[in-house]
Each structure stands twice: as structure tokens, then as C-alpha cells.
Structure 1
Amino acid sequence: MIYEMTVQIRVPDMEEGQRWYETLFNKKPHFIPHAGFAEWELIPGCWLQVAEGLPSNGCGPIRLGVVDLEGERERVMNELKVGDFKIFSRKEVPVKWATFTDPWGNKIGFFEYMEGQEKQAQINRILG
């Protein structure tokens, strides 16, 4: 039985990386067990670890569900100076999505359910 998950990405400068991800998530890390490592619980049981080291090429993206994709796009472009951030959709896919990179090449993305009831049902299912 799987009941929890963690995903790790690496940044070469931990201080700068932690600051960038604090801005992305609008909060401080939940857990810093030692130097060179910070962890955020994004939703119950789902943790993102940022560790000091060389980023992995060709991995990702890690896509995070958001309530307002356009609003998050504007915030990330303004606060984190992310440039290439295009939103995509397809008729047969129930979400719209976008992918961008952090300053170290890690691929991050957001997605949003296009149908309001489905979006709210997912939020309620996950967050209660």
C-alpha cells in the first residue's frame, strides 16, 4: 500500500534555491533536517524536497494542480522572473497546463481543471 510520496529536485546553491521555492510556494519549508536540504508538504502526504547538488537533466516536469492557472502564471512570471510560460489545452484533456523551468533547469508545471465542478470535487477529495 502506498500512502505518501516525496519527489526530490536539486539546486546548486541551496540558499538561493530555498528562497526561490519559498516564493513559488508562498511559504517556508516545513522541514529542514540539515544543511543543504529543505522539504515542503504541498498537499497531505505529498512532499517536495529541494536538495543541494547538480540538477538531473531530462527529468520532470513535476506538475502541481492550481485553482487559477492564469493567475499563478502571472505571479510566477512577475515574482520569479520566469519567461517562457505558455498555457496549453486539448479538447480531449480535462485540464489546461503549462511547464516552466526553475533557474537551474528543473522542469516545474501547473495544471488546472477546466470544469469548475470537477476542480472542486478534486480539491474536496484531496483536501477534505
Structure 2
Amino acid sequence: MFDHVLAVIAVRDIDSAAAWYRRLFDRPADNNPMPSLVEWQAAPAAWVQVTVDPERAGASQLNVAVDDLESFVASARSRGVEFGDIVDANKGVRLSTVVDPDGNSITAIGGFRERY
């Protein structure tokens, strides 16, 4: 099976994107392996890579499951990451979405579980 999973977010400008994602993650990038790529370790074997790719910028989508959706959204908003209203999805799952400056969609999920 896989050792790591890497989600890739395509952006136009790495410096402005890195600043925005720093606010999202509430910490600096964990790795900067090349000038056009920064990475955050989101979980023990899961990484989010933010990379320059002007042709794909704005077409990325990232879903993240959080323990306490209200607290996560409030904390992100306090750092200038303006998640939308929390909405009910299905089977107790709730969602809140933000769009980064390039138009990529990040959805925080509350009530996520591996089996429904």
C-alpha cells in the first residue's frame, strides 16, 4: 500500500499562496524543497503541497476532516481565512468551505467518519 498521500494545490504565485496557507495551517510550511513548492504535513502520512502551476491554478480541491468544526472555522477566521457558513450535508456531516486567492476550494468537514 502507499506510504504517504500528497494532495497538490496549484497556484499562480508561490509567495502569496504560502502566506495564505500559512494562515490556514496556523504555522509556517514544514518543507520548501524547491522555489516553486512548499509543503505542510497535515497528518502523519499526509502532506499538502502548494505548487506553482498557472494552467491548473484555481482548479484544486482539498477536503480536511477536523474534530471540532466550529472551533476550527472560528480560529481560521481569526487569522483572516474566511470560511463560509457551516452547513449540514448528510448523516451528521457538516461542511464549511473557503476559496484561496487563486480560486482553489478547501472544505473543512465536521462529523467525518470512515464508515457511514
Is TM > 0.5 for Structure 1 vs Structure 2?
A: yes
Q: Unmatched 5+ residue regions in structure 1? A: 123-128
Structure 2 Cα separation of the partners of residues 80 and 46 of structure 1: 24
Q: CA deviation at 1:49?
A: 0.2
Partner of 1:12: 12
Instruction: Classify the secondary structure of the residue corresponding to 2:31.
Output: coil
Aligned to 1:112: 110
Match of 1:89 in 2: 88
State the partner residue of 1:69: 69
Paired with 1:17 and 1:64, the residues of 2 have a C-alpha distance of 18
CA 1:30–1:81 in 2, change beyond 3 Å: closer, same or farther?
closer
CA contact (8 A) 2:81 2:98 kept: no
Q: Equivalents in 2 of 1:3, 1:68: separation in Å?
A: 27
Structure 1 residue ranges, 4+ long, deviating more than 4 angstroms after superposition? none
Measured in 1, the distance between the counterparts of 2:78 and 2:30 equals 25
Aligned to 2:99: 101
Shift of 1:71: 2.2
In structure 2, stretches of 5+ residues that fail to align are none
Structure ranking higher in strand proportion: 2
Check the 8 A contact 2:69/2:110 in 1, yes or no.
yes
Could you tell me whether the CA contact under 8 Å between 2:7 and 2:49 is conserved in 1?
yes
Choose between structure 1 and 2: higher helix proportion.
1
Identical columns (%)? 24
Rg larger for? 1
Higher relative contact order (CA 8 A, sep 6+): 2
CA contact (8 A) 2:69 2:108 kept: yes
Structure 2 length-normalised TM: 0.82
- The two structures have a TM-score, normalised by structure 1, of 0.75
2:49 aligns to what? 49
Cα distance per residue 1:4-38 (max 9 Å; x no partner): 20011122111111011111101111111110110
